[in-house]
Amino acid sequence: MIDQAPVFIVIIPLLAALLLVFATPLGPRFAYGMLVTALAATLAAALATLNLVVAANQAVHYRMGDWLPPHGIELVIDHLSGVVLVLVAGCALLTAIYSLRTAEQDNPDRLNQYYSLFALLVTGLLGMVASGDLFNLYVLLEISALSSYGLLARGGGQAYYATFKYLIVGTIGACFYLLGVGYIYIMTGSLNMADLAVILSRPELQESVSVKIGFTLIILGIWIKMALFPLHAWLPNAYSKAGTTTACLVAPLMTKVSVYIMLRMMFTVFSADYIFNQIAWSELVIYLASAAAVVGMLAALAQRDLRKMLTYIIVAEIGYMTGGAWLANAAGFTGTTYHILADGLMTLCLFMAVGAIIYRTGETTKAAMVGIFQKMPITAVVLVIGAASIIGVPPTCGFFSKWYLIQGAAQAGAWVFVAALLIASLVAAVIFFRLLEVAFFGDLDAAPAAPEDGHGQGHGPAVARAEAPLSMLIPMMISAAGLIVLGIYTREVVSYFISWSIPAGF
């Protein structure tokens, strides 16, 4: 039974998505319970699979229906995909728990359909991570993309327009990817990743221009999907106009899974040796990544809307991870993979905290933050921990991913990237301290200070306590605690999971 765990990771949420539609008459509570149960089971399957991988100390291959690769569908789960699966399933479960109030608020009429798309998106994301086949990956990419279009369009205001833009751009990205896969298939006759790795190492294919074009197209497609600057324009609007639950699900996971796919393409299908010796443009990526980090953070600084600010931070974080992957050394790779986990958690933490604040205050700008420490103390602490992690304050995990990334950049002599990381951290500090100052001391510009008592110390009016509901608080607190636990157990995470995936030659 336990050997079957890999397939359950994909099957459980898929079945849940189907059944949720038929369960509409049973009411919203049943749908919520079903989604949470299904995702909890998925998380258990992901953990069991990770356990299998760690126990065997090698990748677990699951052949669907016992068809042999390269013809059958194969799930391949190694140390890296094992932890990413746990991350995806865990974040999805936390978001599902969190959705009790907000999902109903955002979708009063079609909750079951909404939850069904939710489960389908999770299926797609998990499938992409587990897949060992380029074409299956494309199918799952489209499944997750299509369901995310549906989810995002459920938001208010300009969500339709923003989602339509995302749909166009996202489809172009998927097309680039598919075109690239086509090139590779023509040249090699295979779509299985492990099989491809062997075939592509032949000298004649190493030199082949077609393969180079195929690789370039695949990477371009993935970059569009993960919103690497300057291909990021679709992301901020699409994510910030979405409903609260959708944002919490989509924002941390979709881009992170895209980064994971980039790593798979780079180091499993192709190889470090191929990329850094054969691909002429590979040296330029680090500059693109540096620009993404700085531009993303500066754009975040300029935002008034809280969630839009967070989406630009994602753009910057994508820059961090891309840079780390293209540093071509072990520390950079470790930094990127560790940051997939760290950034997934901290984005989730921040989106949930900001979502709770918006839910309680009804404001979406800095005004929502006034007096949050008195109003919603627990949410405020969660927000502080998330912010600390984005800024890179030890002992949160954000510090250690930056540590690895800067170490890798220093070893590679990529000083531009070091500077970009530091500038981005400092700008992030400004972004969050501006908010926390208002949250802690109130806003001087918006409201005149309370009566002064002799030497200029305003005592704000007492603010009523209005903490977020428990269904929001619990997942928020878990994610915030996760940031610190992940930080403290960095050594274990790196040596048990990440160090096994460091590509040969680093």
Binding residues (CB under 8 A) for other proteins: these are 331, 391-395, 400, 402-403, 406-407, 410-411, 418, 422, 425-426, 429-430, 433, 437, 440-442, 444, 449, 453, 455-459, 487-488, 490-491, 494-495
- Of 61, 99, 110, 101, the closest CA to residue 81 belongs to 61
Q: Are strands 60-63 and 74-77 parallel, antiparallel or unpaired?
A: antiparallel
Q: Which residues contact 215 (CB under 8 A, 6 or more apart)?
A: 180, 184, 265, 270, 275, 279
Rounded to a whole number of angstroms, the minimum distance from the CB of residue 27 to other proteins is 43
* Sign of CA pseudo-dihedral 458, 459, 461, 465: positive
Nearer to other proteins, 176 or 417 (CB): 417
**DSSP E strand boundaries for 27-103:** 60-63, 74-77
DSSP state of 62: E
Rounded to a whole number of angstroms, the minimum distance from the CB of residue 409 to other proteins is 9
* Sign of CA pseudo-dihedral 151, 154, 157, 158: positive
Rounded to a whole number of angstroms, the minimum distance from the CB of residue 401 to other proteins is 11
Please give, one letter per residue, the 3-state secondary structure of 379-423: HHHHHHHHHHHHHCCCCCHHHHHHHHHHHHHHHHCCHHHHHHHHH
Nearer to other proteins, 359 or 403 (CB): 403
Nearer to other proteins, 362 or 457 (CB): 457
Half-sphere exposure of 18 (CA within 13 A, CB side): 5
Rounded to a whole number of angstroms, the minimum distance from the CB of residue 411 to other proteins is 5
Nearer to other proteins, 91 or 346 (CB): 346
Cβ(259)–Cβ(322) below 8 Å: yes
Nearer to other proteins, 57 or 457 (CB): 457
Rounded to a whole number of angstroms, the minimum distance from the CB of residue 171 to other proteins is 40
The DSSP code sequence of 239-267 is HHSS-HHHHHHHHHHHHHHHHHHHHHIII
Rounded to a whole number of angstroms, the minimum distance from the CB of residue 370 to other proteins is 13
Rounded to a whole number of angstroms, the minimum distance from the CB of residue 371 to other proteins is 12
Q: Which amino acid is at 317?
A: E
Tokens 């974040």 belong to 91
Rounded to a whole number of angstroms, the minimum distance from the CB of residue 456 to other proteins is 4
Nearer to other proteins, 108 or 456 (CB): 456
Cβ(271)–Cβ(197) below 8 Å: yes
Nearer to other proteins, 172 or 422 (CB): 422
Nearer to other proteins, 266 or 427 (CB): 427
3-state secondary structure of 465: coil
User: CA 227, CA 267: separation in Å to the nearest integer?
Assistant: 20
The DSSP code sequence of 135-189 is HHHHHHHHHHHHHHHHHHHTSSTTHHHHHHHHHHHHHHHHHHHHHHHHHHHHHHS
Nearer to other proteins, 281 or 415 (CB): 415
User: CA 128, CA 136: separation in Å to the nearest integer?
Assistant: 8
Rounded to a whole number of angstroms, the minimum distance from the CB of residue 492 to other proteins is 9
